[in-house]
Amino acid sequence: MRRAGLWAIGAITLYRVLLLALSEAELFVDEAQYWLWGQSLEFGYYSKPPLIGWVIRAVTDLAGSDAAFWVRLPAPLLHGATALVLMAIARRFWAGWVPVLVALAYLTMPGIVVGSLLFSTDTVMLPFYALALLFYLDLSGRSSARRALAMGAALGLGAMAKYAALYFVLGAGLTALLVPMMRIAWRDAGLAALTFALVVAPNAWWNLQNGLTTVEHTLDNVDWAREVGQAPFRPNWSGLGEFVGGQFGFFGPVLFATWLVLLVPVLRRGDPLQRLLLWFSLPVVLLVCGQALASRAYANWAAAAYVAAALLVVPALMQGGRWRRWVLALSFVVNGVIAAALPLATTRADSLSLDGNRLLLARYQGRAALSIEIFDAARRADLPMIVAENRDVLADLMYRLEGQPVEVRSTPPRGRAMNHYARSYPLPEGTRGPVLYVGEAEVPPQGCPAGDPPLARIEPGKGAYRGRLFTLWRLPAECLLP
């Protein structure tokens, strides 16, 4: 069975890598930003811990190329690694096909399929999160200093990818409180905590040296936290509904529905392992539901929950009688179709549409064309610097124009910088001379001369910027400075 699982994981991963090489999907704004982080290796960045930037830098340096394929290549490989860890966990508790099916259920989750095509911080976090859970389960059986150190290191590396790895601490705490049979020894918990602290210390130090920049961004994401006491609370019911609906999309409609159905039976009469897996998944979903109700939340914010959820749901379906196995088979049909189709869809990202008008993957098209038009305008006007305010535009310009004889800068922030470009790449004080300014208004920014006509107007007909107007102006840099 183990060999069959390895072959299946390898085949799915190879399928994704091959179609990734044929993908027409351009880098999304976040991916371009992660690539930029890797060009300047630090212990932290504006909105996230540093590990994803380091991974991209390592892969692109080894490949000798910054092409989108190499930026994204770690994604299917890391998800394949997570599936291997989940199979290893399952083999400790179940025999037969259960471990293989757990791994395949993970790899075919729609959220994981998307995460294998587009590189995100969740993708870097999840293999370390799964490893930490593997070591925790080992430690719940017997004490081991070596495994405790390994668990702390794995969790620390997960947190260096995304702070959502800290949901693990909540799951472990609830397990210790509510499932005594699955507790780990205090000594092991202490060793793990010490190792975790040592691994994340560089990022903590970077944050302290940079005004807690990443913490500030996190507060911006959960923007209700800044408004406590400033306005009456108004629950965002539509946001909650959108988030919950997104979980059916992330885990898969059949698997998420099954997880919901299992909650009460597991709480009432589940065995210790089932209850542990519940406490490593349920609180994550509930917390993000609270965030969605208070403000907003994206579907992937609960991604950490589905490491334990897959280990809970698949064995329950396999061991629950014939009808439950039919439910599991249905889940593989539904998720499997998505897992096969989405990689194929990216190979036609430039033409695939549902109505013959708007591209299905419009978010991943048109960014390069805009950047090239802006660069051509700067070259024709003999302007050595491009200045823009829009984060999406800046992300692709900096990625696309790497190595070109033109500098790309953000308009300087007025107050606290609200993105990485405004913080790290503002138009320098004292800059003089003409620059190319990219705006989205029919007039130049306030304080800049308005007498000359714009150099160009760009209105993309398809892709991410369809229907938007970008106006290019030749302006003196002095008027853009605060």
Phi, psi of 264 (to 5 degrees): -65, -50
Report the percent of the chain where pLDDT is more than 90.
Answer: 77
Higher pLDDT, 357 or 349: 349
Predicted confidence at residue 228, as pLDDT, reads 47
Predicted confidence at residue 350, as pLDDT, reads 87
Tell me: pLDDT of 214 over 80. no
Query: Which of the four pLDDT bands, split at 50, 70 and 90, describes residue 216?
Result: low
- For the residues of 189-217, what is the DSSP string, one character each? HHHHHHHHHHHHHHHHHHHHHTTTHHHHH
Predicted confidence at residue 34, as pLDDT, reads 97
Q: 288-305 pLDDT, tens per residue?
A: 999 999 888 899 999 999
Q: 39-51 pLDDT, tens per residue?
A: 999 999 988 999 9
Higher pLDDT, 453 or 75: 75
What's the CA gap between 192 and 44, in Å, rounded? Answer: 22
Predicted confidence at residue 413, as pLDDT, reads 87
Residue 74 corresponds to which tokens in the numbers above? Answer: 């770690």
Phi, psi of 220 (to 5 degrees): -65, -40
Predicted confidence at residue 359, as pLDDT, reads 81
Query: Which of the four pLDDT bands, split at 50, 70 and 90, describes residue 220?
Result: low
Q: 385-402 pLDDT, tens per residue?
A: 999 999 999 999 999 999
> 74-91 vs 110-117: helix axis angle to the nearest 10?
140
pLDDT averaged over every residue in the chain: 92
What's the CA gap between 276 and 92, in Å, rounded? Answer: 15
Phi, psi of 410 (to 5 degrees): -90, 150
Cβ 471 vs Cβ 457: under 8 Å: yes
Tell me: pLDDT of 374 over 70. yes
Q: Mean per-residue pLDDT for 11-36?
A: 96
Higher pLDDT, 355 or 414: 414
What single DSSP character describes residue 250?
H
Predicted confidence at residue 215, as pLDDT, reads 62
Q: 1-20 pLDDT, tens per residue?
A: 788 889 999 999 999 999 99
Report the percent of the chain where pLDDT is more than 70.
Answer: 95
Q: Mean per-residue pLDDT for 475-482?
A: 91
Q: Which of 33-37, 290-294, 461-465 has the highest mean pLDDT?
A: 33-37
Cβ 19 vs Cβ 71: under 8 Å: no
Indicate the pTM of the whole model.
0.93
Higher pLDDT, 222 or 464: 464
Q: 274-287 pLDDT, tens per residue?
A: 999 999 999 999 99
What's the CA gap between 426 and 262, in Å, rounded? Answer: 52
Predicted confidence at residue 131, as pLDDT, reads 98
What's the CA gap between 430 and 407, in Å, rounded? Answer: 16
Choice among 334-343, 355-364, 365-374, 378-387 with the minimum mean pLDDT? 355-364
> What spatial distance separates the first Cα and last Cα of the chain, rounded to whole Å?
65
Name 45's Cβ contacts closer than 8 Å, sequence gap at least 6: 37, 53, 214, 420
Checking 273-277 for CB contacts under 8 A at 24+ apart, the result is 273/93, 273/182, 274/312, 274/316, 275/175, 275/178, 275/179, 275/182, 276/137, 276/140, 276/171, 276/175, 276/179, 276/182, 276/308, 277/308, 277/309, 277/311, 277/312
What single DSSP character describes residue 402?
T
Domain range annotation of the chain: 2-346, 366-480
What single DSSP character describes residue 26?
P
Q: Mean per-residue pLDDT for 171-194?
A: 96
Predicted confidence at residue 319, as pLDDT, reads 86
Cβ 178 vs Cβ 266: under 8 Å: no
Predicted confidence at residue 451, as pLDDT, reads 74
Residue 191 corresponds to which tokens in the numbers above? Answer: 């060793």
Predicted confidence at residue 406, as pLDDT, reads 93
Choice among 128-132, 289-293, 451-455 with the minimum mean pLDDT? 451-455
